[in-house]
Amino acid sequence: MYLSFRLLSSKMDKHLLQGKFRGCLLGSLMGDCLGGPYEGETVSSGDKIIIQRYFDKMEKPDFASPFKKYTDDTAMMKSVAQFLTDKPDPDYNYLSKLFVDEFFKEPRRGYGQGIVTIFQKLRNSKYEDIFKPAKEQFNGSGSYGNGGAMRIAPVALYYHNDYNNMLNVARHVTKVTHNHPLGVNGALLQCIAVHQALLMDPKNSINPKEFCNELIKKIKIIEEESEEEDHHFITAYQEKLNRIPFLLNSKYDDELEDEILYSLGNGIEAYESVPTAIFCFLKAQGDIPRIETSNILRRTLQYAITLGGDTDTIACMAGAITGAFLGEDQINKQLLSHCEKADDIVVLADALYKKALKS
């Protein structure tokens, strides 16, 4: 293990750890709420200027605007946090019921197109075999959407002291809806990234290459264990992660932005969005041309949004990693005040923290 990943939570100051729990879930919420309005859009240079001005306005104390609503990313993340908090031993039946109840509530939260089939099957079968509907998705191949990854952060927080159990629970939490190896491994990669960020000291700056190498080492083991014959599946995430240090070190211009989208992606598929979120987190540790703010979380979210595509989900995942690293103190309270149900997320993070310390 590299030195910077040895800051074990057992030695971590309790106040810092609790702040990291809150920071992670709030970062996730903010990415979802602030990124939601741009989901599916292509963001032009002109749009980037407008987004910069809009974020500047939102930071002003007297700027009133309706709450930015959270979407499926937060709805499902809340269910995962509640499942971990309510049941000492993982009960995936309980989790699937939480997902389904949340799904059928108003207002609708904008879920992936395949999800409705799973939740109808679960409800109609009275939760008989909760992993079966996900296995049947997409003609039996399972979903490789990023819906598993976008909600996984609470697992990384709860099992911060137990890496193997974290992976095991993250795998099952994902497989209730996403059974394709790229969907599962994408969620595991996001979980590992949050976990790594959580265990790091926010007073020390991050070494991006070291952070990526550590992720590559861990995801390589997981990918090699996947029972897949298609070589593309078993190296997909390693290959993407290997591109990140090069992209981080390249001179920043419009062509590089095209290269980032081409190499990493900004789509709804887990392999087109999880590595991108990790890239956004690392890129935003330093200044980014045309993003004017000294706040690292804002820079991360604003940057993720300006890449376009699946903006709520990429910003949500990047926000979760950044929040787990920096903690609540670095959350921009003014920006947070525009996000729906931020107070509920703090309550959820605290309950998860208390439960995690007891377990």
Note the residues at the interface with Mg ion (CB under 5 A).
71-73, 310, 312-313
Using omega within 30 degrees of 0 as the cis cutoff, is the peptide bond preceding 107 cis? Answer: yes
| Sign, Cα dihedral of 175, 33, 280, 323 | negative
The minimum distance between CB 226 and Mg ion, in angstroms, equals 25
Note whether 110 binds ligand F2R by CB under 6 A: yes
- Report how far Cα 114 is from the mean position of its chain's Cα atoms: 20
**Of 246, 326, 234, 232, whose CA–CA distance to 279 is shortest?**
246
Note whether 272 binds ligand F2R by CB under 6 A: no
Interacting partner of 214 out of Mg ion, ligand F2R, none (Cβ under 5 to 8 A depending on kind): none
The minimum distance between CB 2 and ligand F2R, in angstroms, equals 32
Q: 3-class DSSP state for residue 309?
A: strand
**Of 47, 34, 116, 109, whose CA–CA distance to 73 is shortest?**
109
Note whether 37 binds ligand F2R by CB under 6 A: no
**Of 27, 50, 54, 43, whose CA–CA distance to 281 is shortest?**
27
- The residue among 72 and 340 lying less far from ligand F2R, judged by its C-beta, is 72
The minimum distance between CB 111 and ligand F2R, in angstroms, equals 6
Number of residues that bind ligand F2R (CB under 6 A): 23
**Of 288, 1, 316, 337, whose CA–CA distance to 146 is shortest?**
316
Considering only residues 9, 18, 74, 143, which one is a binding residue for ligand F2R as defined by CB under 6 A? 143
Q: What is the CA radius of gyration of the chain?
A: 19
- The residue among 73 and 223 lying less far from Mg ion, judged by its C-beta, is 73
Q: How many CB atoms lie within 10 A of CB 264?
A: 25
- The residue among 312 and 328 lying less far from ligand F2R, judged by its C-beta, is 312
Note whether 106 binds ligand F2R by CB under 6 A: no
Interacting partner of 146 out of Mg ion, ligand F2R, none (Cβ under 5 to 8 A depending on kind): ligand F2R
- The helix (run of H) or strand (run of E) holding residue 72 is helix 72-86
- The residue among 71 and 295 lying less far from ligand F2R, judged by its C-beta, is 71
**Of 170, 123, 161, whose CA–CA distance to 356 is shortest?**
161
- What is the Cα–Cα distance from 259 to 134, expressed in whole angstroms? 34
The minimum distance between CB 245 and ligand F2R, in angstroms, equals 27
Considering only residues 93, 141, 161, 337, which one is a binding residue for ligand F2R as defined by CB under 6 A? 141
Considering only residues 82, 196, 313, 322, which one is a binding residue for ligand F2R as defined by CB under 6 A? 313
The minimum distance between CB 73 and ligand F2R, in angstroms, equals 5
Positions touching ligand F2R (CB under 6 A) are: 39, 71-73, 110-115, 138, 141, 143-147, 180, 268-269, 310, 312-313
